[in-house]
Structure 1
Amino acid sequence: MKLDKKKLTTALLAVLTSVGAMAQMPAEAPMPAPADYFLFPIKPGERNYLSGTMGEIRSNHFHGGLDIKTDQRVGLHVHAAADGYVSRVKQSTYGYGNIIYVTHPNGLVTTYAHLLEFYKPLADHILQKQYEKQTFELELFLEPGQFPVKRGDVIGLSGNTGGSGGPHLHFEIRDKEDRLYNPLRYTFKEVLDTTPPDIYSIGISPLNIHSRVSNAFERAEIRTKKVGTNYSLPDTVYAHGLLGLELQTIDRLDGAANKNGTQEVTLFVNGEQLYTHYIDRVPFELSRQVSQHINYNQYKRRGNTYQKAFIDYGNDLPLYKANGKDGRLTVAPDSVYQVKLLARDSYNNSSTLSFVVKGQKPTFTQTRSASAKKPNISYEIVGNVLKISATDTSSTPQNIELFVGGKELILVPSYVNNSVSVSLYDLRAGLPDSMRFCGLKTSFGLEKMVPPAKDFQFTNRYLKVLFDKQSLYDTLYLQTSLDNGVYTIGDYFTPLHKAIKVTIKPDTTGLDLSKAAVYFLGTGRGRGYTGGKWEGNTITFTTKNMGKFKVLEDTRAPYIKLASKSSNGISFKISDDLSGLNSFNAWVDGKWLLMKYEHKTATIWSEKLDKSVPLSGKVILKVKDNAGNEATYTGRI
């Protein structure tokens, strides 16, 4: 048979085009198992309630599964959702706590987290390994034939271990590539939801120097009005240029007041679909990119979660379908745009927000305020734009003198609002050194324009920063400072995807370097241990946070207090006031004794390998912190 090369090439191109188009679709892919494949893992067949669903926005990730309520208590039976085998098990102080991974014949994996106990004989196997390795924290990868399970088998008891904020079961469905699937795609009759999502507010952001919202270069937040089952805005939105829309929405399930995640948001403009996201399959390794899916700045400053209805730079999540401008809306003067945002949950309940945007060409406006008594000046960086706000007490707005590389530029105000004139400058034209207004001079401290998607090194007299090519989502206009031993790198409200590597040379006079380390200061009084490695008088550390850092010395040993003791077991309260706990080990009569740890109650307690042998003899407990300080308890049972 002779192949027609032309037809074959055409067919291959059609297939490749189809695959390419599919790659741009939101991730509502065909279900990799029948809708009734999985059994609900808590009280199957009975009415259940959820405190969390997939797609909720957490501090640095998407919530990856279901949080199933357990009657506000621990100890409920946890059932295997389908036939398979225990492929992985882990005990940890934080994160998932005690977790079981069950691999199923179709390659899918279900996870059961925050467990109180594992089922026998798995629990016995884990205990044996903990004694062999002399450690509480343990992760084991198991063979298919070791611990097979059948659908409905009890594989553990629900708990509150790890990073759990209360008793519940965290349940996930993953595929072999560790992509998290929305469990509510499967028909769990135990969970009822006829309640559509709530839409609270919309955010509208100018995305370039020419953009305006209500004639101002400023993000606007507008509360919605509910009209029947749908939502609207109080008035028409007047705007110009390139805009990004954001939606504040949550979902509720029947019979529960919890604020859950909304799976889908779709943007229509004049009847055309510009954008949609569907939070359904989240690659585990990309979950941190939630920082670009939301307005990170607003989330960190105020705790408000606004999901962007456009694809921001550096966001590689496979959740989106958008037009050629990635969902950004271009508003032309004297044009009218009928905008509709649809929010839909996993049960296809939906709510719609409709409003009108009218194009309004930017014009110079000026309003006065009697409270403006003296000149003042401040600035902020919004994307690539330097926004300068100057309190202008004169009747005629004054220009801003901007100094860039030794040259003076004159910035004319774009508008004046309540005696505050606003001037704009595109930072891509060159980093300014300082500015002057009415005799007031301000330095910016802008040191470098750091590009994303590129390895980059920055060095000045007091620090060195190495940016990985995946550290930044977008261009960073880097500012650093050193003040009274506090090193500031960028600001707390700028997200990082991958860690940066920092080297500093602090004043080490009087410091015991073996007890000194870097701490992240955040925005309040907290001090988070970051660590670092000393080489001479310099210390190098990695961090996934921008903000303030300081070298501190921890010379105080951890705290130990005996809580109870008997021949059956022993328990203690342990804590540390600065660097945090690193390790703890106990021995009775010279033999290592497993101690389990719950950080939420600062408690450790023993579990014997052989339950029939009473504890007797000299007790030694050693607790070490991250600075190497060690506390020791000795006693007898």
Structure 2
Amino acid sequence: MRVLVFVLLCCTVSVQAQLFAPANYPKGYFRNPLELAMDLSGNFGELRPNHYHMGLDLKTNKVENQLVHAAADGYISRIKIEPGGFGRAIYINHPNGFTTLYAHLNDFNPKLENWVKQQQYAKESWNVFLELTPGQFPVKQGDFLAYSGNTGGSQAPHLHFEIRRTADDVNVNPMLFGFPLADNTAPRILRLAVYDRMRSLYEQSPRLIPVKASGSNYSTTPALVKVSSPKVSFAITAFDTHTGSSNLNGIFEALLYVDNEAVIGFRMDNISYSDTRYLNAHIDYRTKSAGGAWLQHLSDLPGYVNSIYKQAKGDGAIDISDGAVHAVRIVVKDAYGNAATLDYSVQYDGTAVAPLVSTGKMFYPFMLDGFETEHCEFFIGERCLYDSVHIRYGQSANTHPQGISEVHTIGSSAIPLQESFLVRIQPNRSLTLQEQQHTVMQWYSGSKNDVQKVEWQNGWASARFRDFGSFRLVTDDIPPQINTPGLADGANLGKASRITFTVTDNLGRSKNVRTLLDGKWLRFTNDKGRTFIYRFDEKCLAGPHELTISAEDEAGNGTTKTIRFVR
């Protein structure tokens, strides 16, 4: 018996090695970019809305302005400043073929900060993505780069740190580079989910199976899971942490074995930003969008391109139509090799498979297909869907006061899209040329909404969206509003330290905001896309001034506000 167990274990290790080659990255080359001991609030591959987390979130003791240092020798190759996303970020290229990125920063070091400001004024844009040459800002390991902050898409003070392959800009898991972070804790498995793979994943709710732990070994209750489908797949909710931390971070790797044979697995090793939205194929999107748990599939959906999965024996949809009891093991690992295992059995109970009854037209991954009615058409591209699914269509009255079409409901917000799909709507009356020029298509689902400027062709308005939901045409002749609280025309700002304003729009979409001081462009920051802020500097000396602010909305309506003040 012991010989048999040994042989089975050896076979398991052998197949597993074929799934994932050992990670081989330079250990000790990069230093901790902070002066604080490494402590993670987020790790690589962690699950986030519509994307994988692509680096490490390093805690900064809940405060801003900690010193951020270069992780290794190299040169600053790029600077990015944007309202969301990274906020303020520095990229450094290193001679070993990797690039490090430092994001959500406050001020850069003085020399770099001054250079960036000059570039912003030269481009007349606060939002910039600057390319630098190797000789402009070379750095040595440990050089001061910037102060940590909370800019961009950050929700609390921290440093977002990434390592990428310089040649193709693909992100690599920093935990594979040997940073000084103690981790002797195994991942935790919280629940198992079972899916009927005779139907679309987006047309069912999974059966959730509770699990119980004995150390790092887990089992289900009951131990034998009987199912009424001859073909099933599995998903898990699992988290990881590191020594001394209470943060529930993402897992690194999960492997599925059936009857002691490796079937499929995934690893959070390297992911490109161009593929990060494929997280929606990796998770049970329908369950999560309804407010449920994060569930990570142990099956590879057909529409997942450049997948993080490795297949050894199929795509993870398991045929159990023989009615036999099949032993299942799921192994979950972190980047340090700590592992947790979940063992259970599964059996098909022989229930006759009922015919699928669903309304709507069936669409498939990698097929360009469409749907047409008298007043609405939509077309779904080859790389839009992750799994086959019925897309339902409905029409209802438009109650918007400026609505010029019926409301057309397409699909469900519980069905994710990788790429945008095309929606074409015919207005319910003839429009003047001016009305056409100010027409937008509005999408909404629940409390969310968005608008896109339409293109006209043969009396039909078209736009692209990345979510299913309800769509309608709206004419918009109301310009955005520029709000300057506390700043009236003729104000004396001699004691003020800054000027602030906001821009609002009736349909929630403004753009092309521009500010001029005495006819020259003036830099206002717009962190998180909320308030525009200018802090007085050498660009606004003592004396009378005239500030002009202009903005547009998606429909092309423009507005301008001029304020005279004395400093």
TM range (shorter): 0.7 to 0.9
Quote the Cα distance in structure 2 between the aligned partners of 1:311 and 1:266.
12
Aligned twin of 2:462: 540
Quote the Cα distance in structure 1 between the aligned partners of 2:366 and 2:16.
25
Aligned twin of 2:531: 603
- Cα distance per residue 1:444-489 (max 9 Å; x no partner): 3x2x443422333443312232333222223343322221132222
Quote the Cα distance in structure 2 between the aligned partners of 1:209 and 1:548.
25
Quote the Cα distance in structure 2 between the aligned partners of 1:53 and 1:276.
19
- Cα distance per residue 1:18-57 (max 9 Å; x no partner): xxx99984475422xx2101111111xx423211101111
Name the stretch that deviates more: 531-540 or 326-335: 531-540
Quote the Cα distance in structure 2 between the aligned partners of 1:247 and 1:51.
21
Aligned to 2:276, the other structure's residue is in SS state helix
Using the TM superposition, give the Cα deviation of residue 332 of structure 1 relative to its aligned residue in structure 2, in angstroms.
Answer: 4.0
1:188 aligned residue (179, 189, 204): 179
1:424 aligned residue (329, 351, 355): 355
Aligned to 2:522, the other structure's residue is in SS state strand
Quote the Cα distance in structure 1 between the aligned partners of 2:550 and 2:244.
48
2:29 aligned residue (10, 33, 37): 37
Aligned twin of 1:501: 422
1:618 aligned residue (533, 536, 546): 546
- Cα distance per residue 1:99-121 (max 9 Å; x no partner): 11111112211111111122232
Question: Percent identity between the aligned chains?
Answer: 29
Aligned to 1:594, the other structure's residue is in SS state coil
Q: Does the aligned pair in 2 maintain the 1:589–1:616 contact within 8 Å? A: no
Q: Report the TM-score, using the length of structure 1 for normalisation.
A: 0.77
Report how many residues are paired. Answer: 529
Aligned twin of 2:316: 327
- Cα distance per residue 1:542-601 (max 9 Å; x no partner): 11112222233441532412457447753213141423231322222333211111236x
Q: What letter is aligned with 1:501?
A: L
Aligned twin of 2:326: 337
Does 2:460 match 1:460? no
Aligned to 2:230, the other structure's residue is in SS state strand
RMSD: 2.8
Quote the Cα distance in structure 1 between the aligned partners of 2:423 and 2:136.
45
Q: What letter is aligned with 1:496?
A: L
Aligned twin of 2:12: none
For structure 1, the 5+ residue unaligned runs are 1-20, 212-216, 364-413, 415-422, 428-443
Quote the Cα distance in structure 2 between the aligned partners of 1:541 and 1:83.
47
Q: Does the aligned pair in 1 maintain the 2:68–2:145 contact within 8 Å? A: yes
1:47 aligned residue (37, 47, 69): 37
Aligned to 1:632, the other structure's residue is in SS state strand
Aligned twin of 2:116: 126
Name the CA shift for 1:285/1:338 in 2 (closer, same or farther; >3 Å). same
Q: Which has the larger radius of gyration?
A: 1
- Cα distance per residue 1:407-438 (max 9 Å; x no partner): xxxxxxx6xxxxxxxx42388xxxxxxxxxxx
Q: Does the aligned pair in 2 maintain the 1:520–1:548 contact within 8 Å? A: yes
Quote the Cα distance in structure 2 between the aligned partners of 1:259 and 1:108.
28
1:234 aligned residue (221, 224, 227): 221
Does 2:164 match 1:174? yes
Name the CA shift for 1:298/1:537 in 2 (closer, same or farther; >3 Å). same
Alignment of 1:50-65 (within 5 A): 50-65=40-55
Aligned twin of 1:490: 411
Aligned twin of 2:343: 354
Alignment of 1:66-81 (within 5 A): 66-81=56-71
Alignment of 1:538-577 (within 5 A): 538-554=460-476, 555-562=478-485, 565-566=493-494, 569-577=497-505
Aligned twin of 1:90: 80
Name the CA shift for 1:612/1:134 in 2 (closer, same or farther; >3 Å). closer
Name the CA shift for 1:98/1:29 in 2 (closer, same or farther; >3 Å). same
For structure 2, the 5+ residue unaligned runs are 1-14, 398-405, 488-492
Q: What letter is aligned with 1:618?
A: E
1:316 aligned residue (301, 305, 315): 305
Q: Does the aligned pair in 1 maintain the 2:212–2:220 contact within 8 Å? A: yes
Using the TM superposition, give the Cα deviation of residue 536 of structure 1 relative to its aligned residue in structure 2, in angstroms.
Answer: 7.2
- Cα distance per residue 1:309-353 (max 9 Å; x no partner): 121212233422223322222224452222211111122222111
Name the CA shift for 1:181/1:210 in 2 (closer, same or farther; >3 Å). closer
Name the CA shift for 1:22/1:340 in 2 (closer, same or farther; >3 Å). closer
Name the CA shift for 1:222/1:140 in 2 (closer, same or farther; >3 Å). same
Quote the Cα distance in structure 1 between the aligned partners of 2:236 and 2:298.
7
1:471 aligned residue (377, 381, 384): 384
- Cα distance per residue 1:162-192 (max 9 Å; x no partner): 1111111111111121211001112221x33
